Structure 1
Amino acid sequence: MSIGCGNFGTYTFVIKSNLSNIARLPLIGIFILACFQLIAQQSTFEGRIRDFETDEPLPFVNITLQNTGTQSDSLGHFSLATRLTGQLKFSIVGYDSRSFDAQYFKNGSIVYLSKSKNELDEVLVRPGENPAWRIIREVRRNERNNNPLKYDEFKALSYTKIRLRADSLMYADTSGNGETLKGYFKLPKQDSLSQQDYLNLLMLENEGNFYFKKGQQKEVVNHSITNVPKFFPTNLIFTDEQNPIGFYQPFYKFFFLSAANTDGVGVERNYVNPIKNGTFSYYDFELTDTLFQDKDSVFVIQFWPFKKTQEALKGVLKINSNGYAIQEIIAENADTLQPLNIRIEQQYVFGNSRWYPEKRTMSWQYPFETQKAKMRVRFTHFQYLRNFENELKEGDVYFDGSTKSITPKADTITFDQFREVRPLILNEEEKKVYQKTDNAFSNLPIIKKGIELMEKPSKWIMQASLPIGPFLLLLDQNQSNFHELVRGGLGLQNNLLENPRFGFRASAGFGLRDQTFKYRTSASWHITKDRYNRLSVYHVKDIRPPGQVSFLGPNYSTPYPQSLFFDRRGYIVDSYKLTGTALYVKPIRWTWFRFYTEKQDVEGLNYEIEELGKSTQSYLHYGVNMRFARKERFVRNGFFENVVSNYFPIVAFNYGHFNGLNNSKSFQRFSFSITQQFRWKKLGYDVIKINGGQIWGDAPYNFLYNNLGGSRGFFGFSKPGFITGNFLNYASNRYIFLDYVHYFGKNLIKSKVKWFQPQVGIGHRFSWSVLDSTTRFEGFEIDSFKQGQFELDLYLNNLITIPLFGLQTGFGFNAAYNYSQTFEGKRRWVILPNVNLNVF
């Protein structure tokens, strides 16, 4: 257990530990004094210095005692050879100095310094141009040659280490007046089952190969070990986007744990890169040192934003004169009030006439605080690449869209076997993670056996599939909606990992409320192993809302069932059958086409058009779908695939030609969807979504556009659209819909109050639609809105931020107002409460 020490006097100390149940240890002050008396006899002592808030090592701290002194090294370590008498002082620019009687210092202790609350702005006087600017310009000029993301190809051996731990923040509480005193230093941390001030939650190590070719990257994990039971899918939780290769992109795009939700606001940060064009007016630079390395010079440049903005970094760049490449970067977020603090560390090595990304570390820290516990959750994602080669050999790797692929037998390796392939030595604390795990279960053979028995069933549940011979039993064919209430279903698919050239899939479900079966079957011949190029035949019987537009989605090996959205305020539904064939091709990167022809039968279930009744409409339908999703990729673990779409634009369009088989109607239908993001240095970012469509000819009601109204389904699932109004009786032959959101983040209101950190977003939805006069509907009232529908949106997150269940929880609201000239519905104003985890 670590102890926080303040001014001792005659107080009785209360030690608060967050990860143990120790409440009070009276007379502990006497014990500490007795221990420190022994230290005073030593002639040489050493310790470590860390930041109190971030727990990061503090380099170059001045330590003085009597007439001697020293500085801490780059890891915060220091040693001093003298007698421990007098005042021991610690000082560094930007931090409050610490001093206390040296007799109380225990050899090996950690000294914590707090950042100064009253920093003065630096005034830098330079004769002429800042010398760092010329170096930064050279870095930008040579970016094409040094950016690993722009190399043609390379490969390397890969080692990844991911850690998640909780650190307790210990402090002493005086028994006299309850005043809390932040400790000057803490004793060395102990790691035992009974007493500890940190808790290891997760340790994951992967060993394998890394491949890169023309923008495509893939890590193949051959061996994987972790301290948690194998049935927990640790490799799927942490995506490669958390720790990107190279620090040359205009923005450092950060996501918290998972991919960004492009339908929302405030789920990402786009930190401006200090080497981005135009940042001399945004960042200040100072050339602090020039080092010599063989025949090259290494320029050490500190950078920080002119203003304490929330979209900026601060840190140190080391630029090598050999090609003016980044040799090392250490950076963290400049916003000190951001609950989640991030840190970026990257090191590059020169070889084969190139600079390669040798070591990369992405880490973040998040506070967890209750009345009885105060700790910091720390996550670290480290990757080490070595043995670089400029060229790939035939058969090295198959780029199928996945950025990480964990081989099926990767987790069968033992800890002793992994020691032989691990390229770096673990520190003592990391070794104890595995030792404690092994010790915890060695005396509990029944629990250990139970966990081993759960490994396979848990994988089946996580992957939503159960291997049965050469097939997979699909377990994810269930859904809920307001028409069926609940649909239960199962599916069957062949194992595409064992037979990637042929695919067979069948699924069936039964609606609880409507008491009807739905089913889907398909068979495919895969021209390439990545499934993007294939020929398929299919037959479907299901339900859908009229006018629904379905665009080509991501390429999954086991695709999720299509979600159905019905508005609980009222809805109409069709039953349909499809029989067809489709050719899928991917001629260029990120672009996917589907050419198809099919027979389609459609019938209205809960509505009737007078001239048609409820008769079935049959059409011969052929057309093409297209999807472009920049840098869309996925991670595969066994049969499970997690698709990541963090980049823009995402473009899709559909074109179809319909000929009536039991009527004389014929028409053409075109639909498109575009999602784009624009990022700004000082104003946050925009997310713009545009979709629309055009119908030529005599289209029946079932195929008119009728998908502008939003809906809220079970468990919070929803379909985007207008929040206000009711669009049940609206349909059109052509329409345009735009959804625009500008997210300011904290840039609009820069509060210095911890509990008031508002994040502002504004949005606007508007749409125009036209219903051709040639379309007739007797007895069924349908209208369009030629004059337009308009809706304003306001997002106010984190108006009040308070700890709730230990997490920094933000409370706010989302508001929408419909100011259209014609309005159908009950309320033009809609205000919805918003509760979110305050990350940024």
Structure 2
Amino acid sequence: MKPPQKLLILLLCFLLASVTHQAQAQTMYTVTGLITDARTGEPIPFASVALVGRRVGTVTDERGRYTIHAKILSDSIAVSSLGYVTQRQFIDRERTSQAVDIKLVSGGTALQEITVRAGENPAFRVLRQVRKNRFINDRKRLAAYESDNYVKTQVALSHVSDRMRRNPLIKRINEAMSKHDSIIDSEGHRLLPILVSESVSRYYYRDNPSRKREDIRKTRIKGVAVDDAGLSSQLLGGTNLVNQNFYDNYIPILGKDFASPIGDNWKNWYEFYLADTTKIGDHICYEIQFDPKRKEDLVFTGKAWIDTTTFALCQIETHIGSGANLNYVRQLTIEQELEPMIDSSSIGQATVGWLPTTIRLMADLTGVGKQSLGLRAEVALHSSNIVINKPHPLFFYEQPIEPSDTVATANEAYWDQVQQTLAGAESLNKDDLKARQIIDKLRTVPAVKTAEGVGQVLVTGFYKMGGIELGPYPYLFAINTVEGLRTRIGFRTNDQFSRNWIFRGYLAYGTFDRKFKYGGEVNYLFSRQHWTMAGVKMSDDLERLGLTPELIGGNRIFYALSRFGRYRGAYRSQQKELFFRSEPIRGILLTATLGSRTFDPIFPFHYRIHPDMGDLSPLQSTIYDTYWSVEARLARKEKYIMDGNDRITLGTKRAPVFTIRYTRGLRSLGGDFNYDRLTLRAQQSLRIGPFGRMSYLLSGGFTPSTLPAPLLFPHTGNPTPLLTNNTFNRMQFYEFVSDRFVSIHVQHRFEGFLFNRIPGIRKLNWRLVANVDALWGSLSKENQDVETFRPLPGGMKPIHFGSLDGSKPYLEVGYGIENIFKLIRIQAIHRLTYLDGGYNGIPISPFALKASASFNF
């Protein structure tokens, strides 16, 4: 899941259902002028003239004259021509008509000779040299580097239609805003700003081993539904959004992998055209234009400027069009300007790699439907004060995962200095300052305040009341055969209540069983740096065998839905735990637990107290378990951000995550059994080049002890119509139990690899998905003997737990289509083994169609 605040911004935009300011007739601006040679005064024909940052331009005529018409101006124009230095000239954005003459200076540098084979695209030779020299030019060659970074982020609502304007909420906003409260983009659309932020940070990187650190020094954020520091400053204040390296084969954006135009497979994805040779800064560069071979593929269109002597990437401008198999994206643009890094300590001060010093990213997002509200997000980064090849000790990169309390500042003198020294061309302009004024006014509108509160509840699941939050709403009610109507109210505290003490609790009641259930937890956070925490929790509630939160991996929605309908395998559980958790080394999280729990089934279940006595053994249904456990979680390169007193993972960049846990049950602590249990878990997401993405979850467990089935490994079945990943979707609840097992869940998303190549189908943007779920397990004869088949008191037949043949796996395969209407996934599931007979009177169905909904780009 995306971090809550980032989702909240997006969701709020669609809740503001859709603030529209339709594009209105705009005054046309005109810029004319003459381009001449600075030395001779002769006019320069066919020179390129363009508005900087806009997709508007022209070429000079044979007399060196040009005319540009635009709905809105940028703050400067750029002029380039073969053999001349590219020059920029500021223009007046307020004047409707103006004349700007520019004199170009000769480049004065001879170009490197290019040999072109007959019949070969001349751009290919340049691109081969780019790949050949990438080990010299790529920033990864640097042993270490660090820089001061200035980041500016802007988010605004866009593409508001007349239909949206009739929305009551939008009417109230329009009534509160004057006609002057608007900003016009380059295409003439009116924008409604909802966030503007600036930040200053120091970024550190070292290679071998790879380590990163970023200290956010200062930030100021003004926006709707965002705070001034904390999570927002971490999401918007660093290089998280703009750190793409085009020398890599694939560029990760919005959870997708786009093929790089200068990656190893450039020829398979793109058409190229060697357009021109021009001067970028001090470098004479080839200008290469590229377009996708298939517009539905995850690729770019744009231009790259390649240095003619080193074949390094000097500058690149890429766009993602509406034809790409990508949801909710009208347009996405990435621009980078790179500079060579000179190692002054080396002989001759050699170039040792190129770093991007200016990066711009613009995303124009939309909802479902052509008339939906849009979201415009722009991020610009400028790096300065760069130091290379001076790595710090490894412990230095164990950075704080949360900025200091003093990171947020509105000190105008400080930001004026930043804009003069660090921001460069990305400094705040008139539109940015106007956006801040609009946001201040927007936040005073009562309807907007209401929408902020509703969006907070829908995204986080909690309603915030100062230091206490009520929720989560998915657990608010359920209807099942045991409890009837179950209602629940819960709460948690946040960092406004305390930055160290954390309280959570809930109270539930069922109308059928007329019983109260409850749960509570108290934690103390000792250190955010090493995420050290101790706590105690207790609960008395109704659970379902094999579907506790721990077994289903924290899938909140699946756990909430599992409380509806026929409640098979229900038992009452009282649980108490003490735990201590710490991360002494980044990526290694250790947890120690001491606890007890009860198992009191309300379904027909008994087990033999003395299995060696067979049917003569006395029977018992309840279990009292006391235990201690230790767990280690290894997540290399995992990155976190802090949301108050919670820690949110941003993933591990496809490195595997390993978890190993040992549990020891003890009679000496008052429990019914002595036992040992070992569980292991590994999961990872892998990029398979043009074939899409694959993810897997590998788990295993072993206990050599003799125990009743609930203390073994009940495997997670899912007979509901809802498709749920990492479960067995054609297995019944607690159909199989093992004392040793290995399972694997594999899912592969082909993205548009196949459907993008089928005429007609490719327009639907459907995506093929497939899965394989396998389970190898067995149950020892000693544990089988614990189970009884003798009729229970009253003649009721006991529930029977199945077991697997150790030489025969349980196997499911599935295939389906996702991204139907951009939301729906339909999956066909086949159960291939263990098809004979039934399970506790339930017939085996080897095939099912299941559905799920998800939000994916």
Q: Same fold (TM over 0.5)?
A: yes
Which residue of 707, 714, 721 maps to 2:715?
A: 707
Partner of 1:140: 134
Partner of 1:103: none
- The answer (yes or no) to whether the contact 1:790–1:819 under 8 Å persists in 2 is yes
> What amino acid sits opposite 1:763 in the alignment?
N
Any idea what the Cα deviations from partners look like across 1:706-759, whole Å, max 9, x if unmatched? 13213769xx89674122342334211122322222212222022555753321
Q: d(CA) in 2 for partners of 1:546 and 1:795?
A: 29
- The answer (yes or no) to whether the contact 1:311–1:681 under 8 Å persists in 2 is no
Q: d(CA) in 1 for partners of 2:588 and 2:246?
A: 27
Partner of 2:590: 593
Q: d(CA) in 2 for partners of 1:320 and 1:619?
A: 70
Which residue of 665, 668, 672 maps to 2:676?
A: 668
Q: d(CA) in 2 for partners of 1:327 and 1:45?
A: 28
Partner of 1:344: 334
Partner of 2:491: 490
Displacement of 1:237 in angstroms is 7.2
- The answer (yes or no) to whether the contact 1:810–1:838 under 8 Å persists in 2 is yes
Which residue of 219, 222, 231 maps to 2:218?
A: 222
Question: Is 1:332 aligned with 2:334?
Answer: no
Question: Is 1:818 aligned with 2:831?
Answer: yes
SS in 2 for 1:518: strand
Partner of 1:89: none
- The answer (yes or no) to whether the contact 1:492–1:507 under 8 Å persists in 2 is yes
Any idea what the Cα deviations from partners look like across 1:434-490, whole Å, max 9, x if unmatched? 34445668xx7x969x969x99x989997969899xxx5464577356677333233
Partner of 2:630: 624
SS in 2 for 1:722: coil
Q: 1:575 to 1:50 in 2, by over 3 A?
A: farther
Any idea what the Cα deviations from partners look like across 1:96-150, whole Å, max 9, x if unmatched? xxxxxxxxxx9589xxxxxxxxxxxxx992399942144323443226x6239x7
Give runs of aligned pairs for residues 292-307 of structure 1, distance below 5 A: 297-307=284-294
Q: d(CA) in 2 for partners of 1:380 and 1:673?
A: 39
Q: d(CA) in 2 for partners of 1:338 and 1:664?
A: 57
- The answer (yes or no) to whether the contact 1:236–1:642 under 8 Å persists in 2 is no
Any idea what the Cα deviations from partners look like across 1:201-249, whole Å, max 9, x if unmatched? 4232122323324433335262313253656986587696433354444
Q: d(CA) in 2 for partners of 1:494 and 1:376?
A: 33
Partner of 2:793: none
SS in 1 for 2:734: coil
- The answer (yes or no) to whether the contact 1:656–1:669 under 8 Å persists in 2 is yes
Partner of 1:318: 305
Question: Is 1:731 aligned with 2:737?
Answer: yes
Partner of 1:794: 815
Partner of 1:516: 516
CA RMSD of aligned residues (A): 5.4
Partner of 1:427: 429
Displacement of 1:698 in angstroms is 0.8
- The answer (yes or no) to whether the contact 2:144–2:391 under 8 Å persists in 1 is no
- The answer (yes or no) to whether the contact 1:751–1:757 under 8 Å persists in 2 is no
Q: 1:223 to 1:459 in 2, by over 3 A?
A: farther
Q: d(CA) in 2 for partners of 1:742 and 1:368?
A: 26
SS in 2 for 1:777: coil
Q: d(CA) in 2 for partners of 1:374 and 1:493?
A: 35
Question: Is 1:769 aligned with 2:777?
Answer: yes
Partner of 2:87: none
Q: d(CA) in 2 for partners of 1:529 and 1:161?
A: 27
Partner of 1:413: 410
- The answer (yes or no) to whether the contact 1:161–1:204 under 8 Å persists in 2 is yes
Any idea what the Cα deviations from partners look like across 1:394-419, whole Å, max 9, x if unmatched? 999984563xx465566662778755
Q: 1:62 to 1:22 in 2, by over 3 A?
A: closer
Give runs of aligned pairs for residues 429-508 of structure 1, distance below 5 A: 429-437=431-439, 473=468, 475-476=470-471, 479=475, 485-491=486-492, 503-508=500-505
SS in 2 for 1:702: helix
Displacement of 1:69 in angstroms is 5.6
Q: d(CA) in 2 for partners of 1:460 and 1:394?
A: 44
- The answer (yes or no) to whether the contact 2:691–2:753 under 8 Å persists in 1 is yes
Q: 1:533 to 1:458 in 2, by over 3 A?
A: closer
Any idea what the Cα deviations from partners look like across 1:608-630, whole Å, max 9, x if unmatched? 31536666544453443222334
Q: d(CA) in 2 for partners of 1:412 and 1:655?
A: 47
Displacement of 1:334 in angstroms is 7.0
Displacement of 1:350 in angstroms is 4.2
- The answer (yes or no) to whether the contact 2:701–2:742 under 8 Å persists in 1 is yes
Displacement of 1:194 in angstroms is 12
- The answer (yes or no) to whether the contact 1:236–1:637 under 8 Å persists in 2 is no
Q: d(CA) in 2 for partners of 1:437 and 1:107?
A: 31
- The answer (yes or no) to whether the contact 1:546–1:704 under 8 Å persists in 2 is no
Any idea what the Cα deviations from partners look like across 1:763-806, whole Å, max 9, x if unmatched? 2222233222211211441112324433232221345x5xxxxx
Q: d(CA) in 1 for partners of 2:154 and 2:74?
A: 28
SS in 2 for 1:739: strand
> What amino acid sits opposite 1:651 in the alignment?
F
SS in 2 for 1:774: helix
Displacement of 1:322 in angstroms is 8.6
- The answer (yes or no) to whether the contact 1:58–1:74 under 8 Å persists in 2 is no
- The answer (yes or no) to whether the contact 2:664–2:676 under 8 Å persists in 1 is yes
Q: d(CA) in 2 for partners of 1:277 and 1:635?
A: 33
Q: d(CA) in 1 for partners of 2:698 and 2:501?
A: 35
- The answer (yes or no) to whether the contact 2:456–2:463 under 8 Å persists in 1 is no
Displacement of 1:531 in angstroms is 3.5
> What amino acid sits opposite 1:362 in the alignment?
L
> What amino acid sits opposite 1:388 in the alignment?
I
Any idea what the Cα deviations from partners look like across 1:170-196, whole Å, max 9, x if unmatched? 9xxxxxxxxxxxxxxxxxxx9656998
Give runs of aligned pairs for residues 640-789 of structure 1, distance below 5 A: 641-645=647-651, 647-648=653-654, 649-661=656-668, 665-710=673-718, 720-749=726-755, 750-751=757-758, 753=760, 755-775=763-783, 776-779=786-789, 780=798, 781-786=800-805, 787-789=808-810
Percent identity reads: 13
Q: 1:756 to 1:56 in 2, by over 3 A?
A: farther
Which residue of 146, 171, 188 maps to 1:154?
A: 146
- The answer (yes or no) to whether the contact 1:725–1:828 under 8 Å persists in 2 is no
Partner of 1:176: none
Partner of 1:9: none
* Most deviating of 730-739 and 384-393: 384-393
Q: d(CA) in 1 for partners of 2:829 and 2:590?
A: 37
Q: d(CA) in 1 for partners of 2:19 and 2:519?
A: 53
> What amino acid sits opposite 1:142 in the alignment?
I
Displacement of 1:602 in angstroms is 2.3
Displacement of 1:519 in angstroms is 3.6
Q: 1:279 to 1:782 in 2, by over 3 A?
A: same
SS in 1 for 2:590: strand
Partner of 1:830: 848
> What amino acid sits opposite 1:489 in the alignment?
G
Q: d(CA) in 1 for partners of 2:535 and 2:738?
A: 31
TM-score (norm: length of structure 1): 0.68
Partner of 1:364: 363
TM-score (norm: length of structure 2): 0.67
Which residue of 593, 598, 601 maps to 1:602?
A: 598
SS in 1 for 2:146: strand
SS in 1 for 2:432: helix
> What amino acid sits opposite 1:692 in the alignment?
G
- The answer (yes or no) to whether the contact 2:361–2:378 under 8 Å persists in 1 is yes
SS in 2 for 1:362: strand
Displacement of 1:20 in angstroms is 4.7
- The answer (yes or no) to whether the contact 1:132–1:286 under 8 Å persists in 2 is no
Which residue of 249, 253, 259 maps to 1:272?
A: 259
Question: Is 1:163 aligned with 2:160?
Answer: no
Partner of 2:198: 206
Structure 2 segments unaligned to the other structure (5+ residues):
1-17, 36-47, 76-95, 100-116, 163-178, 344-352, 610-618, 790-797
Q: Which has the higher helix share?
A: 2
